[in-house]
Amino acid sequence: MTPRLTLINRDYTRLWFGQAVSSVGDAVFSTTLVLWVATVLAKDETWAPMAVSGVLMASSAAVLVIGPLAGVFVDRWDKRVTMLRTEVVRIGLVAVLTAATFLPVDDLPAGAWLALVYATVLLLHAAGQFFSPARFAILADLVTGEADRARAAGIAQATGETAWIIGPPLAAPLLFTAGLQWAMLFNALSYAVSYIAIRSIGVRPPATGSAGPDAAPKPAVRQRTSVRREFVDGLRFFARSRFLVALLLLAVIGQFGIGALSTLNVFFTTDNLHASAHLYGYIGMAMGVGGITGALCGGRVVQWLGARRSTWISLLVSGVLLVAYSRQTGFIGGIALLFVFTVPLTVLNTAMAPLLLAAAPADYLGRVMAVFYPVTKLASMLSAVLSGWLAGSVLHGVSGSVGGLRFGPIDTIFALSGLIVVLSGVFAFFALPGRETTEETAEKAPEEAAVGTAAPPGPRPA
């Protein structure tokens, strides 16, 4: 009988536990750094907002610059070993920063402190670009079946949401009562726990290029080519898969449609919902609780409806709810609708995970995710910039009424964003009608197999 405390299976439970502890550590670390830069290092300085934004820019730069190339090495290396070595690197980086924080702040100029912080954040997130695809790829071996994979994705999302509910409240007391170095040490220990959890996994993922018992025979030795060639081969494989391209387009359109919330929701809260700015924290809490609810329900929904149907239905429902949210004028109704809106949005993310695992063979999973992560991150950044520009320039001061409904700049942007999400749901309905397995995607990459690069394995469980 499976123990009650086991999630899906023993090895996945250990992997999840390490992720959970590490996610809380990351939330504490990120929040503490922002607070320290804003309230200690750059206190009362005019350049404080720019200094804080530098922390965020450093993390984004790692995703956009390192992410695409990291996938090539993740596909070459053993996934479990990659995760273990990544955790060792992150422990070392945080340990160096921790040691530096024992120095009095005045001992180093502000520029030196910022350079140290930015470099640490950049390198930590660069290491994360190897860890995340490796973890995603190893799930294909630890968890099989569309429903269980969707359940695993839902658990991971719920864990991430919970970490960002637990982490930030812990950060402020650690910083202002114990000191910055103890918050840093907390994160280093969380990586150590993750390392132990990953090392304890009993089932070893199969070697790159291996296949199941029903797969076609593969050459005993896999010939290596240059990093550039394998990177190009990965891009070519991705571009030839209409299924993967469709999934990426859905993710990008969804980011453009929903990204405006991250930039403008604080202004919507004060101007449209007529609430005080100090209540804005409840908006984030509502979305966090909605995200946890959707993540926990996602596996069951995918089991009932299937991953493809769950994808386009979630897009349609999310888009309609975002339009409805744009029409809210009261704070209670606003946070209630935002909670409901986040549920199908998280189900969407849960449903896309098994689709990606089914559409990409093991030898290409690292490069597939190395395309998804940076492109969706870039779409989110562009959406934030575009929505802020529209609200501050083109639509600034725009107001009117149609059929008794009043419109302003921010609610107009939210309504248009909702319509974009609805249109992406319609696109998903037509773009994801059938099933695509790794056997079908393998046919799209004959050239890669011919030149001795990663040959896609046989069909995997959907």
Where do the domains of the chain lie? 10-199, 227-450
pLDDT at residue number 136: 83
Residue 2's pLDDT band (boundaries 50, 70, 90)? very low
pLDDT: is 321 or 167 the higher one? 321
Residues 6+ apart with CB under 8 A from 450: none
pLDDT: is 183 or 403 the higher one? 183
pLDDT over 80 (residue 357) = no
User: What is the phi/psi pair of residue 307, to 5°?
Assistant: -65, -40
Q: What is the pLDDT of residues 57-94, one digit of tens each?
A: 888 888 888 888 888 888 888 889 999 999 999 999 99
Helix then strand then coil, in percent of the chain rounded to 5, is 80, 0, 20
Q: Of the candidates 316, 323, 283, which has an alpha carbon nearest to the alpha carbon of residue 414?
A: 323
pLDDT at residue number 402: 64
Q: What is the mean pLDDT of the chain?
A: 78
Q: How far apart are CA 370 and CA 106, in angstroms?
A: 40
Q: Of the candidates 300, 64, 90, which has an alpha carbon nearest to the alpha carbon of residue 195?
A: 90
Q: How far apart are CA 238 and CA 350, in angstroms?
A: 21
Q: What is the pLDDT of residues 373-387, one digit of tens each?
A: 788 878 877 877 787
401 DSSP assignment? E
pLDDT: is 366 or 12 the higher one? 12
Cα three-residue angle 231-235-237, rounded to 5 degrees: 115
Q: How far apart are CA 212 and CA 222, in angstroms?
A: 17
Residue 433's pLDDT band (boundaries 50, 70, 90)? low
Mean pLDDT of 21-48: 85
pLDDT over 80 (residue 441) = no
Produce one character per residue of 232-268: b if its CB has 16 or more CB atoms within 10 Å, e if not: ebbeebbebbebbebbbebbbbbbbbbbbbebbbebb
Was domain 227-450 assigned CATH 2.130.10.10? no
Mean pLDDT of 334-344: 90
Place domain 10-199 in its CATH homologous superfamily. MFS general substrate transporter like domains (1.20.1250.20)
pLDDT at residue number 214: 34
Residue 223's pLDDT band (boundaries 50, 70, 90)? low
Cβ count within 10 A of residue 283: 21
Residue carrying structure tokens 């992410």:
67
Hey, what amino acid is at 267?
F
Tell if the pTM clears 0.75, that is, is over it. Answer: no
Q: How far apart are CA 26 and CA 167, in angstroms?
A: 8
Give the pair of three-digit tokens for residue 59: 């993390």
Residue carrying structure tokens 């390490």:
18
pLDDT at residue number 361: 78
pLDDT over 70 (residue 211) = no
* DSSP per-residue codes, 226-263: -HHHHHHHHHHHHHH-HHHHHHHHHHHHHHHHHTHHHH
- Shared fold status for 10-199 and 227-450: yes
Residue 432's pLDDT band (boundaries 50, 70, 90)? confident
pLDDT at residue number 116: 94
Is residue 355 within 8 A of residue 247, CB to CB? The reply is yes
pLDDT over 80 (residue 206) = no
Residue 122's pLDDT band (boundaries 50, 70, 90)? very high
Distance in Å from the first CA to the final CA of the chain = 25
pLDDT at residue number 124: 94
8 DSSP assignment? S
Q: How far apart are CA 259 and CA 380, in angstroms?
A: 6
Q: Of the candidates 9, 6, 398, 455, which has an alpha carbon nearest to the alpha carbon of residue 220?
A: 455
pLDDT: is 61 or 315 the higher one? 315
Residue 170's pLDDT band (boundaries 50, 70, 90)? confident
Q: What is the pLDDT of residues 325-337, one digit of tens each?
A: 998 989 899 999 9
Q: How far apart are CA 82 and CA 387, in angstroms?
A: 38
